[in-house]
Structure 1
Amino acid sequence: MSLRSPVGRVLGLGAAGEGVGHWWTQRVTSVALVLLGLWFVFVLIALPDRSYETVTAWMHAPFNAVMLSLLVGTAVYHSLLGVEVVVEDYVTDHATKIVTLLALKFIHIVIGALGVFSVLRVAFGSAA
């Protein structure tokens, strides 16, 4: 027989308070994506044409390269946050959940790195 109250037995066992940071991060990245997405759409509309030469010349500007890198990084991070929630909510087996979350993080890191590398390669000019 325990002398601890029911509340005392469960305190510290749950994830209380940890989800708030995740929730706020999702909201902040979504607002950033709206702003960056609007910037990207308006800039593309303002280009005289959408030929390869015009777009690559536009990407050579440092401001545009930085903004595109931010767009790619924010989109990948926002995607990771959303997919994590889905896996945490719907995958019941603990081992499968851990493996899936690790694989998703790895995949998102690779996608983000490839995206930023692509933007920088075009911005600085390719070697090939």
Structure 2
Amino acid sequence: MADKGQSIRTPMGRVRGLGSAHSGTKHFWHQRLTAVAAIPLTIGFFIIMFSVIGRPHAAVTQTLGSPIVAIIMLLFVLTTIYHMYIGMQVVIEDYVHNELAKILLIMSNNFFCVAVGFVCAFAILKMSFGV
């Protein structure tokens, strides 16, 4: 056993107080959970999309305005965007070595995912409520 005075951390790590972020397992499980949840939601999304191909605008609007269809579409969009967010963050953290570029890319990833999520959710809710 090591003495309490001994540490495997570097002197710089002790000064900065840096250590394990304790979030790797959470991200790992969120990535797997969203991947599993996306399977039935993607199937539902494609069934909905293929059912409206070639139909008139009024029929498409009526189909996409259904509450159950809106719920499936919202869940699909939010799940896949969160899955994309986690995946891109991992890629950026693993493969971008310049700290400034890493910070800027992570911020861009956050803004992009939030913007896409809001635009998609707005479009689905607008069509669902018929406003």
TM-score class, shorter-chain normalisation, is 0.7 to 0.9
For 2:94 and 2:20, how far apart are their aligned partners in 1?
A: 13
Look up the match of 2:79.
74
| Secondary structure of 1:92 counterpart | coil
Instruction: Determine which of 28, 37, 41 is the counterpart of 1:36.
Output: 41
1:59 paired residue among 64, 86, 96: 64
Query: Mapping of 1:1-128 within 5 angstroms?
Result: 4-7=5-8, 13-15=18-20, 17-45=22-50, 47=51, 50-51=54-55, 52-126=57-131
Alpha-carbon distance in structure 1 between the residues aligned to 2:124 and 2:59: 15
CA distance in 1, matches of 2:52, 2:109: 39
Letter in 2 for 1:82: G
- TM-score, structure 2 normalization: 0.80
Output the CA distance in 2 between the equivalents of 1:97 and 1:49: 41
1:93 CA displacement:
1.4
Instruction: State the 1:63 CA deviation.
Output: 1.3
Code of the residue aligned with 1:4 in structure 2: it is G
Give 1:15 deviation, angstroms: 2.3
Residue 48 (structure 1) shift: 7.0
| Structure 1 unmatched runs, 5+ | none
Cα 1:48/1:83, change in 2 over 3 Å: closer
Q: Give the unaligned 5+ runs of structure 2.
A: none
Percent same amino acid at aligned positions? 31
Counterpart-to-counterpart distance in 2, 1:109 and 1:67: 19
- Output one character per residue of 1:12-71: Cα deviation in whole Å (capped at 9) or x when no partner: 7432642000000000000111010112223444x3754233221111111111111111
